[in-house]
Amino acid sequence: MHCSFLSWSRLGAVLLLATANCLAQSPPGQRLYSANCAPCHGPTGAGGKAPDLTAPRYRHAPNDQALFGIIRFGIPNSGMPLTRHLTDQDIHAVIAYLRTLQETSPPPARGNALAGRQLYRTKGNCSQCHTLQGTGGATGPDLTDIGARRSPAYLRESLVNPEAAVPENFMVYRLFSLIPDNFLQVRAVTKDGRRITGTRVNEDPFSIQIRDSSDRLHSFWKDDLAELHKDRGKSPMPSYRVLLSEEELDDLVAYLVSQRGGL
């Protein structure tokens, strides 16, 4: 057992060294991208929990100057943070690397978007919780531009394993929290015995607002609550792994990918 552990440790060390050597030989922009951008945008820029950077144009950055500003100052309420530790030269190197990513052509989403549209409205019942182009519920995130913000692989994972797609940043306390960037399921019990389960809409040190599954909004002073439970890593969204076939999942993902907020 001890020998086996040492063998795996050596293998891990070899792999880490090989990765480090590979990155050391990469262009500066690629190294900076791998260290700062890849965790959200994916190792190849094809997207993940953040937008696909191989797209021919960026929604918020029509030119290099705008892209520089986004990398430096972030995008409020979007999950894109500001950057203080990169120099101007570093940011220009990242931009140069991103432009090379735009020269690649990501594979299109499998499936039939028209069939996915029907599934969204009927069997999937997605509009009960999600808003799309101004129509639907508000329990879950607005999906109007979801295709511009999430990759096909991320969307499929969200459908079959919703809790894997819950953003991690709610683990860090922030004075104000807004869905979908800081999604969190909560359960509250008032001092008179009422029980409310839903998604946190806003929270500060003294109050919390919760939207329940019927799309009703509840606002409480925390002093008026007997219990407040935060179900970290939990999602009220059901898994579609059993409900939808593989083909139907492909169709629904194709439809969601087509939702790009008018882009």
Check residue 24 and give its pLDDT: 53
Check residue 185 and give its pLDDT: 84
Check residue 214 and give its pLDDT: 79
What's the CA gap between 119 and 256, in Å, rounded? 11
What's the CA gap between 60 and 46, in Å, rounded? 17
Helix pair 88-101, 64-73: axis angle to 10 deg: 120
Q: From its phi and psi, is residue 251 left (phi > 0), alpha (psi between -120 and 50) or beta?
A: alpha
Check residue 170 and give its pLDDT: 40
Check residue 107 and give its pLDDT: 64
Check residue 70 and give its pLDDT: 94
Check residue 12 and give its pLDDT: 52
CB of 52 closer than 8 Å to CB of 45: yes
Q: Give the residue among 101, 36, 48, 90 at the shortest CA–CA distance from 68.
A: 90
Q: Cα–Cα–Cα angle for 198, 81, 181, nearest 5°? A: 10
Check residue 119 and give its pLDDT: 96
Give the amino acid at 255.
Y
Residue pLDDT, tens place only, 87-111: 999 999 999 999 998 876 556 678 9
Domains of the chain: 27-102 (1.10.760.10), 113-167+237-257 (1.10.760.10), 185-231 (2.30.30.100)
All residue ranges of the chain with pLDDT < 50 are 1, 5-6, 8, 15, 23, 167-181
Residue 129 has which token pair?
Answer: 């919780």
The runs of H, that is alpha helices, within the chain are 2-24, 28-36, 38-41, 64-73, 88-101, 113-121, 146-149, 152-160, 246-257
